[in-house]
Structure 1
């Protein structure tokens, strides 16, 4: 492969990676979708079953500390 072909390939690659006027970069689109997904997850409530499990674990930790303290 000659140096001229290498330079042409490099130019084509760099031009394809540049944002065209009025176009949205792929990274911006991915960032937007991830942000939307994260926001949706934040809005979901914590299931009662999970809250119950956390409460039981907290209770077990308090009991273990009171037994250790004696």
Structure 2
């Protein structure tokens, strides 16, 4: 069994046992990071996905805070 299949099984089990909500206000968390224009590549200004490359520590910190708050998905 591959990892993707294992994760899918875990997700299916979780969905069978409780209501799952996937919403973390990622955009708001990114806005709170007080990023500068330099954090985005010039052609991708406003594209938050590019922050995974230019500022991965910001994105990792946001997800770490979700986990600390109790997120388990």
TM-score (norm 1): 0.26
Higher relative contact order (CA 8 A, sep 6+): 2
Bigger proportion of residues as helix: 1
